[in-house]
Structure 1
Amino acid sequence: MKSIQIDDDLYHFIASQTQDIGESASDILRRLVMPDVAKPSQSSVTKTDSPVVTQAPLPKPVAGPCQADAVFAELEGQQLTSIPKMVERWLLVLSVIHKHHQGLFSKVLGMSGRNRTYFATSKETLLETGSSTNPKNVPGSEYWVITNNNTVKKINMLKEVAQTMGFDGSQVERLIAVFAPEHV
């Protein structure tokens, strides 16, 4: 077994793709990258005298029921319309969604556009994807998001985040109305 180093955002993406308890990073990557290749069976593995590198287990995303009601309850107390800067509003909404969906939030690491990655676990990763990304930390989390987008793009990104967390169509529309009522 070989050992490789990968960036945190890629690691979290791989972890978010876990389907079975105890699934290794190799199993996940094999399933994603080489779907036609069967998983090697334990009986075909032979012992060698070479050292074996142990692999740290991937964190297991805790998939629970969608917490949309808790998100709305917390956001309603924030009076978002009194926050004039859309970036600050957006970061607050993302922060509240993260707070109530911590086990699933790593799935946002797979969100990207044609040329940009939208979320990462480091500012540097986002800076590498473009010259004017203006990354900001999602408060209360280890995640960073690009903020140099217009409000319509922020709305579209927020819709994708909400859908990823399990919000249904009406809950997504309600979230957008809470975030940017002037754009509904």
Structure 2
Amino acid sequence: MKYIEVDEELYRHIASKTERIGESASDILRRLLGLSVDTVEQAQPQAISQPSLEAATPEPQFVPQVETFVAAADFHQLVDEHKLEQQKGAVGRFLFLLESLYQLNKTQFAQILQIQGRDRLYFARSREELLKASATANPKEIGQTGFWVTTNNNTAKKRAILAEALVQFGCDAEIANGIAERV
């Protein structure tokens, strides 16, 4: 991997072309330049023989597995249009939809903590945790769930975060994007 320096204006332009949370600058540039991500070969480290370590069995690594817990039909019922209209602004609608998602399955909602930006924490179990990660996070509690979310993102980013959360919980991407557009 090579590193290059870019000026602030170019960096902002590249960042503004982000289509999904966690998308790398390389992925964005490849997409914008029409290059395939599949053609990139990751450099493989050379195998180094270390006989003293070969006998040891490696410890299994824990890989969190996301469980899908909601039937697709339930996502259509996620949005109570009347209550959604009563919410104040994009932040209110964002919080309302996240709380509605929480209500679908409270026991699995902690999975939402896995949704993060490359250098950004979006969800946490406390206000302090979000403020520690970013002093300007403007954390808000999602209803009375005990989960907190950063709300200082622009509306497009809030929509992307909500859509990613919905997809993570098993919602079809098209339905998720439709729900997220209501923020």
TM-score, normalization by structure 1: 0.59
Structure 1 residue 137: Cα displacement = 0.5
Partner of 2:77: 73
Distance 1:112 1:64 in 2: 19
CA 1:64 to 1:176, structure 2 compared with 1: closer, same or farther past 3 Å? closer
Q: Please say if residues 138 and 150 of structure 2, whose CA atoms lie closer than 8 Å, have aligned partners that are also in contact.
A: yes
Task: Encode CA deviations 1:160-184: one digit per residue, 9 max, x unaligned.
Answer: 100111101222123124x24xxxx
Which stretches in structure 1 are left out of the alignment for 5+ residues? Answer: 1-35, 40-60
Residue 145 of structure 1 aligns to a residue in which SS?
strand
Partner of 2:104: 100
Structure 1 residue 155: Cα displacement = 0.5
Partner of 1:161: 165
Q: Please say if residues 67 and 169 of structure 2, whose CA atoms lie closer than 8 Å, have aligned partners that are also in contact.
A: no
Q: Please say if residues 125 and 147 of structure 2, whose CA atoms lie closer than 8 Å, have aligned partners that are also in contact.
A: yes
Partner of 1:88: 92
Alignment of 1:118-137 (within 5 A): 118-137=122-141
Deviation >4 Å, runs of 4+: 61-64
Structure 1 residue 116: Cα displacement = 1.9
Task: Encode CA deviations 1:69-117: one digit per residue, 9 max, x unaligned.
Answer: 3343252343424434110110000000011022321111122223321
Partner of 2:121: 117
Q: Please say if residues 75 and 171 of structure 2, whose CA atoms lie closer than 8 Å, have aligned partners that are also in contact.
A: no
How many pairs does the alignment contain?
A: 123
TM-score, normalization by structure 2: 0.59
Which stretches in structure 2 are left out of the alignment for 5+ residues? Answer: 1-56
Partner of 1:37: 58
Residue 149 of structure 2 aligns to a residue in which SS?
strand
Residue 107 of structure 2 aligns to a residue in which SS?
coil
Residue 78 of structure 1 aligns to a residue in which SS?
helix
Kindly, what percent of the aligned residue pairs are identical? 28
